Structure 1
Amino acid sequence: MGHLIRKNRDKLILTAGVLVIWWSLTTFLHGASKSEFVSLQRHMNSEVTSSRHVQGSSFDWSRVSFRYPPGSMTVIPMGNPSHTLPAIQAEFSSEGSLAMNLRERRRRKVKDTFTNDWGAYRKYAWMKDALKPLSMGYQDQFSGWAATLVDSLDSLWIMGLREEFDEAVDAVAGIDFGKSTSGRVNTFETNIRYLGGLMAAYDLSKRPVLLTKAVELGNLLYGAFNTENRMPVDFIDFDAAKRGEGLVVEGSVVSASPGTISLEFTRLSQLTGDPKYYDAISHVMDVFYEGQNKTQLPGLWPMMVSMSRQDVISGNQFTLAGCADSLYEYLPKTYALLGGHELKYEVMSIGFMEAAKKLLFRPMIPGGEDILMPSSGWVDENGRVYLDEETEHLACFLGGVYALGGKLFNRGEYVDIGSKLTLGCVYGYQSFPNGMMPERVNMVACKTMDGCKWDTQHFDEEKRKRPEYKEHLPLGFTTAKDPRYILRPETIESVFIMYRVTGSPKWQDLGWEMFTAIENGTKTELGTHAAVEDVTRASKPLPQSDYMESFWLAETLKYFYLLFSPPDIISLNEYVFNTEAHPFSRS
Structure 2
Amino acid sequence: MHEQYQKPLKPPKSWKPTYDNHSPIGDWDTKAERVKQAFRHAYHAYEKFASPADELLPLTGRKIDNFNGWGVTVVDSLDTMYLMGLQDEFNTGLTFVERMNFTANDTIYIPFFETNIRYLGGLLSAYALSQDSILLERAEELGHLLLPAFNTTSGFPVYSMNIKTGLPPKKERNQGSLAEIATCQMEYKYLAHLTGKKEFYDVAQKVTASLYNAKTDWVGGMFPTQWDLKYGSPVNDVVSIGSLADSAYEYLLKQWLLTGKSEKESLEMYVRQANLIIENLLYLSPTRGLLYVSDVLISKNRPPSPSHRFEHLSCFLPGLLALGAHTLPPAALSDKQRERHWWAAEGLAYSCWMMYADQETGLGPEEVLFNFEGPGWHERNRWVNALRMWEEDSGDVPPPGLTEVQPVRMEDPKQDYWVNKLPHLLRPETIESMYIMWRLTGNAKWRERGWKVFEALEKEAKVGNGYAVLASVLKSPAKLQDSMPSYFLAETLKYLYLLFTDKDIVPLDRFVLNTEAHPLPVFNWTMWDKKNFKIL
Separation (CA, whole Å) in 1 of partners of 2:473 and 2:296: 26
User: Is contact 1:432-1:474 (8 Å) kept?
Assistant: no
> Higher relative CO (CA 8 A, sep ≥ 6), structure 1 or 2?
2
SS in 2 for 1:131: strand
Q: 2:17 aligns with which of 91, 94, 97?
A: 91
Q: Structure 1 residues 245 and 565 mapped into 2: Cα distance closer, same or farther (>3 Å)?
A: closer
Q: Structure 1 residues 35 and 123 mapped into 2: Cα distance closer, same or farther (>3 Å)?
A: closer
SS in 1 for 2:174: coil
Deviations 1:300-355 (A, max 9, x none): 2111111122213x421111100000011111000001111110111001011001
Q: Residue 392 of structure 1 aligns to which amino acid in structure 2?
A: E
Q: Residue 508 of structure 1 aligns to which amino acid in structure 2?
A: R
Q: 2:420 aligns with which of 463, 481, 500?
A: 481
Separation (CA, whole Å) in 1 of partners of 2:494 and 2:144: 28
Matches within 5 A, 1:494-573: 494-524=433-463, 526=464, 528-536=466-474, 538-540=475-477, 542-573=478-509
SS in 2 for 1:180: coil
Q: 1:330 aligns with which of 251, 273, 279?
A: 251
Matched, 1:386 2:305: yes
Separation (CA, whole Å) in 1 of partners of 2:231 and 2:214: 13
Deviations 1:42-97 (A, max 9, x none): xxxxxxxxxxxxxxxxxxxxxxxxxxxxxxxxxxxxxxxxxxxxx9963346968x
RMSD of Structure 2 on Structure 1 (CA): 2.8
| 2:179 corresponds to | 256
Separation (CA, whole Å) in 2 of partners of 1:204 and 1:302: 36
| 1:54 corresponds to | none
| 2:530 corresponds to | none
Q: Which runs of 5+ in 1 are unaligned?
A: 21-33, 40-86, 453-469
Q: Residue 130 of structure 1 aligns to which amino acid in structure 2?
A: E
Separation (CA, whole Å) in 1 of partners of 2:106 and 2:52: 13
Q: Structure 1 residues 183 and 190 mapped into 2: Cα distance closer, same or farther (>3 Å)?
A: same
Q: Residue 419 of structure 1 aligns to which amino acid in structure 2?
A: E
Matched, 1:210 2:135: yes
Q: 2:198 aligns with which of 275, 282, 294?
A: 275
May I ask how many residue pairs the two structures share in their alignment? 485
Separation (CA, whole Å) in 1 of partners of 2:513 and 2:32: 20
Separation (CA, whole Å) in 2 of partners of 1:496 and 1:88: 17
| 1:461 corresponds to | none
Q: Structure 1 residues 430 and 259 mapped into 2: Cα distance closer, same or farther (>3 Å)?
A: same
Cα displacement (A) at 1:291? 2.1
Q: Structure 1 residues 543 and 489 mapped into 2: Cα distance closer, same or farther (>3 Å)?
A: same
| 2:351 corresponds to | 424
Q: 1:303 aligns with which of 225, 239, 243?
A: 225
Matched, 1:179 2:104: yes
Cα displacement (A) at 1:528? 2.1
User: Is contact 2:285-2:416 (8 Å) kept?
Assistant: no
Deviations 1:348-377 (A, max 9, x none): 0101100101111111234x5xx4211111
Q: 1:439 aligns with which of 336, 345, 366?
A: 366
Q: Which runs of 5+ in 2 are unaligned?
A: 330-337, 390-408, 524-536
| 2:432 corresponds to | 493
Deviations 1:412-453 (A, max 9, x none): 43122111111110011111111111101011357233489x
Matched, 1:161 2:86: yes
| 2:515 corresponds to | 579
Separation (CA, whole Å) in 2 of partners of 1:246 and 1:544: 35
User: Is contact 1:120-1:528 (8 Å) kept?
Assistant: yes
Q: Structure 1 residues 229 and 331 mapped into 2: Cα distance closer, same or farther (>3 Å)?
A: closer
SS in 1 for 2:63: strand
Separation (CA, whole Å) in 2 of partners of 1:473 and 1:256: 36
User: Is contact 2:59-2:465 (8 Å) kept?
Assistant: no
Q: 1:110 aligns with which of 17, 20, 35?
A: 35
Cα displacement (A) at 1:577? 0.4
Separation (CA, whole Å) in 2 of partners of 1:343 and 1:152: 33
Q: Structure 1 residues 93 and 498 mapped into 2: Cα distance closer, same or farther (>3 Å)?
A: closer
Separation (CA, whole Å) in 1 of partners of 2:284 and 2:180: 29
Q: Structure 1 residues 374 and 173 mapped into 2: Cα distance closer, same or farther (>3 Å)?
A: same
Q: Structure 1 residues 217 and 294 mapped into 2: Cα distance closer, same or farther (>3 Å)?
A: same
SS in 1 for 2:310: strand
Separation (CA, whole Å) in 1 of partners of 2:179 and 2:206: 16
Q: Residue 326 of structure 1 aligns to which amino acid in structure 2?
A: S
Deviations 1:551-570 (A, max 9, x none): 00000000000001125211
Separation (CA, whole Å) in 1 of partners of 2:353 and 2:153: 46
Cα displacement (A) at 1:167? 0.6
Q: Residue 347 of structure 1 aligns to which amino acid in structure 2?
A: E
Q: Residue 211 of structure 2 aligns to which amino acid in structure 1?
A: F
Q: Residue 451 of structure 2 aligns to which amino acid in structure 1?
A: W
Of all paired residues, the percent bearing the same amino acid is 32
| 2:319 corresponds to | 400
SS in 2 for 1:437: coil
SS in 1 for 2:420: strand
Deviations 1:463-485 (A, max 9, x none): xxxxxxx9747742432221000
Separation (CA, whole Å) in 2 of partners of 1:245 and 1:168: 31
Separation (CA, whole Å) in 2 of partners of 1:228 and 1:349: 24
Q: Structure 1 residues 88 and 416 mapped into 2: Cα distance closer, same or farther (>3 Å)?
A: farther
Q: Residue 173 of structure 1 aligns to which amino acid in structure 2?
A: E
Separation (CA, whole Å) in 2 of partners of 1:100 and 1:440: 30
Q: Residue 324 of structure 2 aligns to which amino acid in structure 1?
A: G
Separation (CA, whole Å) in 2 of partners of 1:228 and 1:498: 40
User: Is contact 2:152-2:229 (8 Å) kept?
Assistant: no
User: Is contact 2:182-2:248 (8 Å) kept?
Assistant: yes
